A and B are shown apart, each in its own frame.
Chain A
Amino acid sequence: MRNDDQADYPQIRTVGLSGLIISFSNRLEDAYNRAALALRAAVSDAAIPGVLETSTSLASVYVRFDSQQSTHAALTAQLSQLLADRDWTQAPLPKGRRFWRVPTVYGGDLAPQLAEAADLAGMSEQAAIDALGAARVRVLTIGFAPGQPYLGPLGPEWNIPRQTALTPMVPRGALVQAVSQFVLFTASTPTGWRHVGQTGLHGFQPTSDTPFTLRAGDEMQFFPVSKAEFLRLCEQDPNLGGAQVSEVEA
């Protein structure tokens, strides 16, 4: 069994038959997420023969390649070379980031697991709404489903485990919480995360010219509104649910 130590990172490992993953940590920290975003850009720029696709997770970069055009050994050597180039944890955040303020209903019938999450975080429901509603979080990665952001980091009190059983279905726009992060669901889905808030923001609009609303590096705040206000905003602004967007100063 693996006994992970930060000193063992970064690591390059295989993913299935035709992929490699470069992991900066097994923990979520800002610097590791930045490192992943920057390294992915560098791998893309390097135009390595055989590489078909790259993507990032919270603290890792995935490289899919054609095993007829390259080999695991050759690609591992090329990626090791890139890794050695610089201290990737010092890399700057991407340019052109945006700040989204998103009206959110916490608790009640639209987000029934707020109380449970607040309990696990050791605070009252109202304190949880105040804390979550004030948090300014970053899109750490897009994944799981189209345009769907993982957001964080939240404070250590929110490092609560996923549920052992799946919630059968949460709706599109659901704000769910676990392991010091939010996810904002872009489609209705079963989940092991707890449904703490509901928004009207659609992160994926398949028929739009810009189908993916959010980008890795964007910042977000989910400020509390009443259910009545939320319903009014959703009717007025069916794609964004009243979310306001501005540029983040460089």
Chain B
Amino acid sequence: MTGLFVLRTGPAVSIQDHGRAGLLSYGVSQGGAADLRALAEGAALLRQAPDLAALEMAGFGGEFEARGDLRIALTGAPMVATLDGAPLAWNASHGVMAGQRLKIGAAQQGVYGYLHLGGGIDAPKMLGARSVHLAAGLGRNTQAGDVLQAGPDTTYETGLTLPVDPRFDGGEIRIVESFQSDLFAPQTRTRFAETTFKRGPRANRMGVELLSQGEGFAADGQLNILSEIIVPGDIQMTGDGQPFVLMRECQTTGGYPRIGTVLPCDLPRVAQAGAGQQLRFKWVSLDAALDAEQRATQEINRLRSQCKPLVRDPATLQDLLAYQLVGGVVSATDDPFLEKDLKGADR
């Protein structure tokens, strides 16, 4: 058996792949990784199929022990990672030997970090996919004592890195009108795009809360509309006109009206916005949105050719780690797993 034994883990860590398409009529939303770009980056770095499962770590990773030699890649929200105490570069692939300990701490920026295994995580399929879908009652979060078993790994290449695609600090999100947009007054739609939101404290794989000053964004008579289809990226207004962006593990139908829909290629940026970070929304035409989506797909397809050898320079890595401590994007003391190791590295 080759894989990772889970010694400790953060509270919202789960196995994710592309999810289950085609089950909407049974009330099952597709689900899958919150940041599909990160999933694609891991596949490119490990030179493997794009539909393999990885470990999605919200905010915080865990501690793992290797069972057998294996390859890993780390993508998504950058987290402090060490292998037997030595710092590991993020957005890169690495070799891990049997018995080595991998520690992944708090996200320095963004929310969802990903740990990929060479051969993917070979968890049992449920309704056709390996993705945990908590809202649907499919599977559960990863916990201490679990083993993440690697699937058959066919290559040996490690030590690759990809340039970071910045999407971990909020920013501008493109949206299109959808079938309920005209339930909202034109001035409400305009005001929505003119408002700077902060990502609220309520955010998970189902939805992300948006906070703003002043009046809400309710539609008229919105408490009595029929429940209708929901797609990921829909921006729903709850009863008091407060917006939530619905994410990949959202419900399949709902009665709160949606003002518009986030472009799928911009959804990782919403998922990766940390609490308190600013988000703004920009209306684009359907044609512009389809063009943007096609370009994003082409970019994903080019990831494999953009991987570069990782420059292994322990002195530089040491400096980087020290910089992270001094820069204090995230306090190292927020992370009980790594505090000791980081202090050691800093000495």
Contacts and interface: CB of A to CB of B under 8 A. Distances in A.
Given A16-B178, A162-B255, A206-B127, A56 B25 contact: yes
A145 B135 contact: yes
B56 to A, nearest CB: 20
Contacts of A163: 239
B338 to A, nearest CB: 33
B224 A161 contact: yes
Contacts of B224: 159, 161, 179
Interface of A: 1-2, 13-17, 19, 21, 23, 26-28, 40, 52-60, 62, 64, 67-68, 72, 141-148, 150, 159, 161-166, 178-179, 186-187, 189, 192, 204, 206, 211-212
Interface in B1-55: 21-28
Interface string B72-89: 000000000000000000
Contact of B231 (A19, A164, A187, A192): A19
Contact of A57 (B127, B177, B253): B253
A231 to B, nearest CB: 22
B111 interface: no
B240 A52 contact: no
Contacts of A58: 226-228
Contact of A72 (B135, B226, B286): B286
Given A16-B261, A19-B231, A56-B25, A162 B226 contact: no
Contacts of B26: 142, 146-147, 211-212
Interface of B: 21-28, 126-127, 135-138, 176-179, 182-186, 220, 223-229, 231, 233-234, 238-240, 251-256, 261, 263-264, 286, 289-290, 293-294
B31 to A, nearest CB: 11
A187 B22 contact: no
B24 A53 contact: yes
12 contacts: A1-B182, A1-B220, A23-B179, A58-B227, A60-B229, A62-B229, A142-B27, A146-B138, A147-B27, A148-B27, A162-B255, A178-B255
B183 A142 contact: no
A39 to B, nearest CB: 13
Contacts of A68: 294
A28 B226 contact: yes
A14 B285 CA distance: 12
Contacts of B178: 13-16
B222 to A, nearest CB: 9
Nearest to A189: B135
Contacts of A67: 290, 293
Given A17-B290, A56-B25, A57-B228, A164 B136 contact: no
Given A143-B227, A143-B252, A187 B135 contact: yes
A16 B176 contact: yes
Nearest to B26: A212
Contact of A142 (B25, B186, B239, B255): B25
Contacts of A162: 223, 239, 255
A2 B239 contact: no
A19 B226 contact: no
B294 to A, nearest CB: 8
B137 A204 contact: yes
Nearest to B254: A144
